[in-house]
Amino acid sequence: MKTAADTPAPSPTPRVRYGLRFKVLLGLTAFNIAATLLFSVKHYLTEREQIMGTLRDNLADFAAGFADLLPPDYLDRATKQGSISPEEYQKVCDKLTAYCSKVGLRFLYSYALEPEGFHCTATNQPPNERYVPYWDFYGSAPLEIFQASATGKPVTAIVHDEWGRTFTLFAPMKTPGGVKYIAGADLPIAYVDAILRKSFLQSLYVGVGSFVLFFVISAYASTRFSRRITHLAAYTHELAASNFKPDAESPLRREVAAIPEKTKDEVGELARSFLLMEDRLGTYIRQLKEETAAKERAQNELRIAGEIQVSMLPHGFPETRGVDLHAAMKPAKEAGGDFYDYFFLDPDHLCFCIGDVSDKGMPAALFMAAALTTLRARATADLRDTPEEILRQTNELLIPQNQSCQFVTLFLAVLNVKTGLLTYSDGGHNRPYHRARSGNAKMLVIPPREGIALGVMPGAVFKRHTLQLEPGETFFLYTDGVTEAVAADESFYREPRLEKTLNGLSPDLAVSGWVEAVMKDVFAFSEGHVQADDITMLAVRFTS
Q: Which of 155, 51, 173 is nearest to 111 (CA)?
A: 173
Indicate the domain borders of the chain.
Answer: 46-190, 313-542
Contact yes or no for 241/9 (Cβ under 8 A): yes
Out of 3.30.420.40, 3.10.620.30, 3.30.450.20, 3.40.50.300, the CATH code matching 46-190 is 3.30.450.20
What pLDDT does residue 243 have?
67
The answer to whether residues 342 and 541 touch, using CB atoms and an 8 Å cutoff, is no
Rounded to whole angstroms, how far apart are CA atoms 314 and 306?
Answer: 14
pLDDT score for 468: 96
CATH fold of 313-542 = Phosphatase 2c; domain 1 (3.60.40)
Element (H, E) at 195: helix 189-227
With the CA atoms of 88, 89, 91 and 97 taken in that order, what torsion angle do they form, in degrees rounded to the nearest 10? 170
**Alpha helices, DSSP H, located in 379-492:** 387-398, 480-483
Give the other-Cβ count within 10 Å of 73's Cβ.
12
Give average pLDDT by consecutive 10-residue segment, the chain, 544 residues.
46 56 77 82 86 91 92 92 93 94 92 92 88 91 92 92 88 93 92 84 82 81 69 71 70 75 72 73 74 73 67 80 92 80 93 90 82 91 91 93 87 96 95 93 85 91 94 96 92 95 94 96 89 91 90
Matching CATH topology for 46-190 and 313-542?
Answer: no
